[in-house]
Structure 1
Amino acid sequence: MNDGNEKVIIVEGTSDKRKVLPIIREPVDIICTNGTISFSKMDELVEQLVNRDVYILVDADEAGEKLRKQFRREFPDAEHLYIDRNYREVASAPDQHLASVLFGADIDVYTEYL
């Protein structure tokens, strides 16, 4: 899981990962929760992500908020990134919007997306 990258972005699904990956210019691990996450999987993540910069980027819907609350408890130091509620899903947000959200969190993005 740790490819030597300091930053980790946690997203809900593989479509979110595919959407975000080409925008980011620096080496970042992107982890998919596939919607919900079990207690055992969460414990595993906590162990793996110790001493790393964790960013939470989930959909702007009820399921995303539920997941976000879970991560707030387990990763109190994680930075929560928010997409505009009008887009609802990370995968459907425009590249430019995602790039500005990521850039605002000090994640290096390709300038053509800004």
Structure 2
Amino acid sequence: MPETEKVVIVEGKTDKLKVKHVSGEPLDIICTNGTISLSRLDEFAETLYDKDVYILVDADESGEKLRRQLKRELPEASHLYIDKVYKEVAAAPNHHVAEVLFRANIQVDTKYL
């Protein structure tokens, strides 16, 4: 079974479900549950070495804190941003999340565009 080349890191389970719902290609979606330990980050870094990594976290204080931590640990990752009016990935409309993913060259289900 071929491994997926793209990995999206999100905060929570509902974020993961939202990304999975709108995406049109197989993605590895990693849930940090809002925080992530250094040892867990080290594990990720090894498995993410040759993959395209995208970080999609909430547009709030905890999301920005996590984003800063991930920027340090995964400097090659691409950062995706939802509009601040939605605050949370899970709360953003499907079409908005689809547009964010699409702009990052991640295939999405075309019914959301």
Deviation at 1:77, TM superposition (A): 1.0
Percent identity between matched residues is: 62
Paired residue type of 1:50: Y
Matches within 5 A, 1:1-114: 4-114=3-113
Alpha-carbon RMSD across the aligned residues, in angstroms, is 0.8
- Take 1:106 and 1:59, find their aligned partners in 2: how far apart are those partners? 20
Offset from partner CA, 1:48-68 (integer Å, 9 cap, x none): 111100000000000000000
Could you tell me which amino acid in structure 2 is paired with residue 59 of structure 1?
Answer: D
Query: 1:74 deviation in Å?
Result: 1.0
4+ aligned runs moved over 4 Å, structure 1: none
Question: SS state of the match for residue 43, structure 2?
Answer: helix
Deviation, 1:19, is: 1.1
SS of structure 2 residue aligned to 1:9: strand
- In structure 2, the residue corresponding to 1:86 is in which secondary structure? coil
What is the letter of the counterpart of residue 49 of structure 2?
A: V
In the alignment of these two chains, the number of paired residues is 112
Deviations 1:7-32 (A, max 9, x none): 00000000101111011111110000
Letter in 1 for 2:101: L
SS in 2 for 1:31: strand
- The letter for the 2-side match of 1:89 is E
Q: Where does structure 2 lack aligned partners over 5 or more consecutive residues?
A: none
| Structure 1, unaligned runs of 5 or more | none
The structural deviation recorded for 1:96 is: 0.5
TM-score (norm 2): 0.97
TM-score between both structures, scaled by the size of structure 1? 0.96
Which letter maps to 2:80?
L
